Structure 1
């Protein structure tokens, strides 16, 4: 158990916005809040007798260890994650809206079928100084989050639409299979109730600034013809093809 309280209490407190330091959580050796093995997926909530789905808004997760957690089937909006570890975690079929990730490590994390990250007007969140190591991306959509100072190391990609994600100082190492990069977002929510236009996507451009793909292997990678790729370092080996 991660604290003197039950998972039932912890999940309820998270949904109500109770701060982490008020939950009596244990600390790991790295002095992180221990939320290892936290499970909020559909079956776990049913087992706990808690209403599905797991919805959190405007919550600040800072210095948290989510190792072996199951955050699948979740809906998180306007949340921030700083200095968090996700190792062997499952974040499947989840939806993140305008969330921010800073100094986070994702190691062998499964993001299959999740929306990373949906926009709210011009806010599409960001990933800054994050490591993605041996993660699994499958059938994922993005809108136009800032992805800056990040490293994708030996991740598995299959039908991943980075869409208009705004890349800067980011490194890809390993195989990129069925991955798409756009100049402007196609998946972004542009209207309210399909009646009122709330954003103009051409105001949020993916500049692909200082993106290092020199150690990537391409397998069916699609770059929007409108993209400026002059600041992208491409691999030189013959077995990498667009």
Structure 2
């Protein structure tokens, strides 16, 4: 397996970033593994890969933008980005990233997926990224790679992707909502702000998003809460700011989406 010059590459200026992309494209191996540290607030500019990318937030929170939506990668999760899909990224906090680049012939993902990383997959990725500092046999490396590729399709998908509309007026409302999410927002309010009927709004929203307004609102509230929880803000404060009547209601929705309550979720992923 070809490897970068260093185990962890620092966050890079645009020119160096695109040189790194060129190196990835030219590598003549089926699977690449790279570790990189990013500082909070850093923006990775729009780009794409000819390979499928599994971008694992080893620690920290990442927000990835595509033409069709936004995708949150909290600790313990990875985003599977299809080959050829343009995307940019924003570091919500300091981030340690492990990326696996897989030949498109070996993985034909058609849409981004947020996947929960198991202990086994995490260990396998760590091993591949850490091979730069070790001497290991080709057979061992191949066995690790083969098992990783076998396990990736078994990972659980989590609903941390948020559809985003093409319609400019609706997109503006969605951006405002993410800045100040409210579990009490309703269809009539949004329809009135767009100057259309409730029925027309419902049709527009589903056509643009592929899901109902209520479903999107629930997902968006949790989506927007993750960076604050990752920063250590009290769950009670985050829940009340999001318009929930009590912490229990927020926790129930959080658990339904992510499989664990917020008090344990991110804390348990920080390893």
Could you say which structure has the higher strand fraction? Answer: 1
Give TM-score scaled by structure 2 length. Answer: 0.29
> Larger Cα Rg: Structure 1 or Structure 2?
2
Structure with greater contact order relative to length (CA < 8 Å, sep ≥ 6): 2
Structure number having the greater helix percentage: 2
TM-score, L = length of structure 1: 0.31
